Each structure stands twice: as structure tokens, then as C-alpha cells.
Structure 1
Amino acid sequence: MADSIRILLIDDDEDDFVITRDIIMDITGRNYHLDWTSSFDEALSLIREKKHDVYLVDFFLGAHDGLELITQAVAEGATAPFILLTGQTDRETDEKAMRAGALDYLVKGTFNPYDLERSIRYSIEHAKSLAEIQSLNAQLEQRVEERTQELAEAIQKLENTNRILYEAQQEIEKALQKEKELNELKSRFVTTASHEFRTPLSTVLSSASIIARYKTTEEDQKRLKHVDRIKSAVQNLTVILNDFLSISRIEEGKVYNIPSTFNLVSFANEVVDEMQALVKDGQKIVYRHEGSEMVELDKQLLKNILINLLSNASKYSAEGKTIHLSTHVTPETSIITVQDEGIGIPAQDQTHLFTPFFRAQNATNIQGTGLGLNIVKRYVEVMDGTLDFKSELNQGTTFTITFPQTV
């Protein structure tokens, strides 16, 4: 403790100031300087200046009391210790003083120089300890806040790392799944190719051998029959090869959407005329259109889509059946529908309809690679369209394609 200690006595009775001054002068070994004020407001003003080391506060201060003064001063940030001077010596006064912020209290008229010196010394040391504790608490809170922030940042980094690892794991799983699908695709390709190529090649080989036996004019009819068989087999081989080539180009990302503006009705009629010559005997393609005739779509991709759907409609329908092609153009969309009267698709097979090389249970005896609808779906997606279908067993199937309209 410093050799010179400044004390402020706050008491509205000058006689108490004189008594307190005399008691302080009797304290040996210490240098005390006593100031005095009798005003509540002046006392608060002096406390705010923080020039004193300790405050002696009388319980009664005219219209106010010492507890009120201590409470207000502490609330304003006063850190020097307060000692309450009271004429009452009871537990209630003690507790009120402590709650207000006083560090000690003395009963007026009973304390001597030793009691006052001990109380001043104790209060100053106690105040210093409290200040140190508050400082340590503040430092601790700061460190806790800093550690909390560091922990939050560490957690954020960990979460980011976990997210990156999760995304990497997802990518790896996707790559593995794609590799698995590719291996399955290759396996199905080998199986399908060996089967689908064998049949037309056998037809070509056998028909070519038989043709060699027909040498007379009378046998021209038989010879032409086998020539037609060879042409049909070669045509089937071309379709199969085109399907495989289309899948390869799609997988390599070499299929692009290159739209152009054209008359959809004229275009559809050309496709119908071309396909009418290739459908089964007695089958007829009926075309109907509604709305505007001009569209902006990829003409080649659309032709491939229509040829594939119309070919399927003919393939899976009996002779003499009707195939319906309709187009409907609105300001928002271009809608194309292909409807047949064929064998339909079993309900349990419909979820796998667009899977490469998939063949429905009722189509295994009909020639095909199982690639056509997958190619159609991929072409439609490249053109930013959607493909839907409805099918009922032995009643037929309807495919509906919707493209956004930009013309």
C-alpha cells in the first residue's frame, strides 16, 4: 500500500469530520490525507474524478443515504473501496452495505485508530484483489472468446474438409458406378451384337449360296426372293450399326443441338412418306397437325427421333394396323405424339424401358437391339425436351415429346 493515502469523508455533520480527522491523526506509521464533503452531489462529482484511494460514507446524508450514494457510484464505475459509517450495529445494515457495494462498515463512536486503519487497509487490499480478479476474468473471457472463435473456425474448416471429402467420395462412387455401368454396357453390347449380327449375316450367307444354284431364267423369281432377303438383312445390319454408332457418339458427347427454323408440317410429311414404304403390309401412317407450322429445332435429330419411333410402332404392331403421328405447336411448346396399336409394354417392364439393350418380356421374339428408345430419350434431352409415354398391354403405346418453342 502507498505511504500517502487520500481519503474522502462524505458526511453532512462537521463534528463527525473533526472526530474522524482526529482519529486518523492518531494512526501511526501511515500518511493519510483526509478530504471532506457534506454534499451528496458534490461527493458523486469528486468520486467521478477518481482522486481518492478510499471513501468513508455516512449512512445519513440529509435527503439521501450512504447506501444510495454507494450504489450509484459503483454503477457509474467507481473502483476505489467504500466504507460505510453507521450508528447501527446489526446484521441487516451489514448485508445492505455489502449489497450496495461497500467493502466494510464501521459503527460511529465505537471505532478507534486501529479499527479505522485496519478497515482502510483491508478495504484497499480487498479492492485491489477484486480489481485483479476482474482483470483476470476479463482476460479469461477474452481468451475464451478467442478460443471459441478459433474452435468455430476449426469446426468450419473441418466441416468444409468433410464436405470436400464427401463430395470427392460421391464423385468416386459416381465414377465407379459409371464404370460398372460401362462394363455392363460392354457385356450387353457383346451379347447383343453377336446375336443381332449373326442372324442377318446367316441370312446373307445362306441366300447368297442359294442364289448361286439358280442359273436359268425360269428361276428368276426364286433368285429375286433371296435378293430381297439379302437386302432386308443388310438393311437390318445398317440399322444395328447406326444404333451402336449413335450410342457411341452420345457417350463421347459428340451429339450437339443445332436448331434451325423450318416448316414442321412439310418436314413431318416427308418423314411419313419415307417411312410408309418401310412399314409392314397394310399398315398406314396417319399424320395430323394443329397450330403454327414453323418451329426452331434440330432437324436431323428430330428426324432420327421420328424414324425410330415410327419404326418401333410398325415393328411392334401387326399388319394392317394404323400408326398415328400428330404435331401440335403453341406459342410455348412443340408437341409430337406417336401412337400405335401394337402389343404394348408390360407394366413391370416400363420402368426399364429406356435402359440400353433392355427388351420387354413380350418383345424377345421381335428383332431389335434394345437401343432405340434409349437413343430417342438421349436425343430429346440434348434438344432440351421431355419424353413421356403411356402403354397398355395388347392395346398399344403412345410416346409424347415436348420441346420448348422459341419461334
Structure 2
Amino acid sequence: MNKVKVLLIDDDEDDYIITKDIFSHGNIANKYELSWIDNFDKGINSVLKRQHDVYLVDYRLGKYTGVDLVNEAVLSGIREPIIILTGKGDYQIDEEAMNVGAADYLVKDKIDPDTLDRSLRYALKQAETLKALKESENKFKIIFEKAKEPILISDYTGKIHDINKAGLDFFGYHIKEMLATNDRSLFYTQEDRDNFVQELETKGAVSDFECQMVSSKGQVYFCSLSSFLQIDLQNMVEVYHTIIHDLTYRKHQETKFIHESKFSISEHIAKGFAEEIRNPLSTINLVLHELTTDEALVYNENLQTNLEVIKSNFDNINQLTRNFISSTENKPIIIQKTNIRALVEEALIEISDLVLGQRIVLEKHLLPADLHLSIDKKQIKKALVNILTNAIEGMESYPKILNVSTMNDSGFYSILVEDNGKGISPGLEHQIFEPFFTTKKDTDGLGLTEAERSVLAHNGSIIFKPLEQGSLFIIQLPIN
């Protein structure tokens, strides 16, 4: 078995002779190989070169101390154990030595072979354990930093202890901002955060907890959280290690599939409806024409008035049928590079008469960037006009405020339309894009249906959020 190399750093030769004598007796005689250096400079040089397995360092080394040597060695990343040798009664020195990183301390007058052997074995074992922990910590740190998915370390109070680069990019924070943020602000609703913490505290681990999270810019993500509890030994607190899986794209695809299926059914119904209603409508129209042109009936004012009422209702039904069919048709998309800010401005100009006529306060917060999207300009503009018109029609009492803003985040260009109108009754949110669904008078309930269809055809999405007062619509269009 190879002997453990021990270096004594002591400027007193008599102490070296005494120490050498101790190493020559008992069980330690064949286990250790002792060397000696008599000054601080040579000693720290040898320590930094890692020429020995363990070091015995006298506290008094000329103008320096053993604590100075330990401190310099620890700051230089030395992991080999260092044991301080002190005089009798130097308890304050002992405590100081342990605080800066010494593995142990021994009182010179009380050193014997067994005591020295035990101290050396414990110091070496401790160094081996610390080395393994450090290697494990480094591996975790590498995984933590290089992981492509956000990893968040927080606690019950919401304090954030650490987050990896992927997490900072995901939420849009700098590290100092994130560490000063409570993790409650990362959850879109307080209810989600409370349920997450309750499940984690009860079970000790959580898998696939679905919730919504929000970035610093207000971008909402659909996420799945996997988390477990662990004790932070350094700070002695219980922390949550949480991996955040972004399900936004998957949710978007699922929603898109559901809506495409819905549109497919609606289109099928619309075509069948058109076939069934066009024949009787044509017959009614023909009869109306004959009655209104019959010379015997032309001067019957009462009849002609009634015929006009029938004709007006006929035209309404005919137009409603055409609108319904149009809202369910797959219209071809004519892609062109379009300045999206200019498109938003054009849509606002188109509804300017409504804004002026109803004395609406229009607030705009549009991105200044000259960004171009590959879209069908006509379809997206019409979809935005439909959303804006819907918002205006939903405002009944003054002041009427319409807020239009834009956002560039996570590969999507978002157009946010917010009003302070009467909103929609709870439980009806899922019907908002259904054909003919409306809570307003004198509207056919097809504008939002057509708008959603156009946006989905561009691989985008429309999100509706009821507010305490009013509604918020978010049109998201892919930038690439």
C-alpha cells in the first residue's frame, strides 16, 4: 500500500524532530511519509503544487500565520486537507482556523500517535467526501446551465434562489431581476401557484403539473411543471427544483386541430344548409317578383307594403346565408411581405369613423420596429377590423376606452385589443368564436368566427380573456 505523503510546515526544527518521532511509533509508522519545510513561502509553494496528500501547519510562521496559509490555499482551489497545529489554550485560533477552511486543529502538547493518526484519517476522509460532493455539484451545475429547458430553484415563500440561462431567456429577465422577483409573479394565476405548492408540499414531488406562466413582457405560456423538494445544506432551507416544459406549441396545435375540425363540420353544414335553403329562397324570390309586377296588384298599396317587408326579410336571409357560407369557406391565402405596424394602422383608420362617432378614447402602444410578416394582408386586416369592431360594439357606458398594443415575443407578433365594455357572462367564453353566437343587437355573430379562421390559417391563434371590466383579444401571428 502506498504511504500517505504528509508535509509539516513549521519554522521550529525542534518541533519537526518531535513530530518525526511521533510518526515513527505505533500504527502510523508504516502508513505515512513525513516531509518538512521550515518557512511560509516554501510551504505555500509546495501546497499550491499539490505535492503532498495532507499538510500539518504550525500557526506561527514568522510574520505570517498558518491561518494565512490555509486562507490562501482555499482561495486558490486547493482541496487537500490542512491541519493547524496550535499551542495550548489557543482556542480562538482554533476557531479561526476552522472558519477559513482548515480540516482540523491539534494542540501540540497533546499530540500522540493515535490522536495524530485519527486526525489524519478523518481529514483525508473528509477531503475525499468533499471532493466527491464537489464533482457531483459541478456535474449538476453543468446540466443546470446547459439544459435547454428552464430550471427554477425557489422555496415555499416564493424566493428564487437560482435559475438557469434557459429560464432567463424563457421569462425574459436578467439574473439580478429574477433573483429580486417572487416566483408568484411567474404564474399567470395565484390559484395555479397555490395548487402547485400544495401538491408539492403534500407529496414531495410533482410530475406534469399543467398551468399557465407569464414572462416579464406579459407573454402567457402553457407549461407542464416537474418538481421535487430538497434541503439546501448550505443555507439549510427546503427548496423546490422545478423543470418547466413549454407546452405552448403543442397546445396551439391541439387547439388548431379542434378548431379545424369544427370549421370542417361547419363548412359541411353550411354547404348542406345552402343547398336546402337556396331552392325555397329562389321560389320565394320568383313569386315576389311576379306579385310586385302583376298589373292587377300594382296599385294595392297595402299589399305592396307587405311585399316590401317580405322582400327586405328575404334579402336579410339571403345575405345571412352568404355570410355564413363565406365564414366557413377555406379561402386561399395570398402570402406577401407586409409591414405589420402599417397594417395595424390601416385597420385603425378603417374604424376611425366608429371611434369618432362613439367618442371612444383610443390608446395606442405599437412597437416601433419595422417588422415584416409573410401574411395575407387582406385577410389579417379584415380579421383585425372584425376584432376592433367587436370591441367597440361591446362598450356601452362612458368613458369608452379602446387600447391597442403590440408585442414581439417567443417567435410571435401579438396584437392586443382591450376594451372596457360590458364583457361577457361567465361560462360563455368557450362560445365566443362559435358561428351566430353574439350578445349584441343587430349583429350576425360571424365576425369573430371569420377572424379566427383567417388567423388559424396563418398558423397563428386568437386568445380571448375576460377582464374584470371588458375583454381582451390577443392575435398571435408567427414571425417566421
Flag the structure with higher helix content: 1
Flag the structure with higher strand content: 2
Q: TM-score, normalised by structure 1?
A: 0.46
Q: Highest Rg: 1 or 2? A: 1
**Structure number with higher relative contact order (C-alpha < 8 Å, ≥ 6 residues apart):** 1
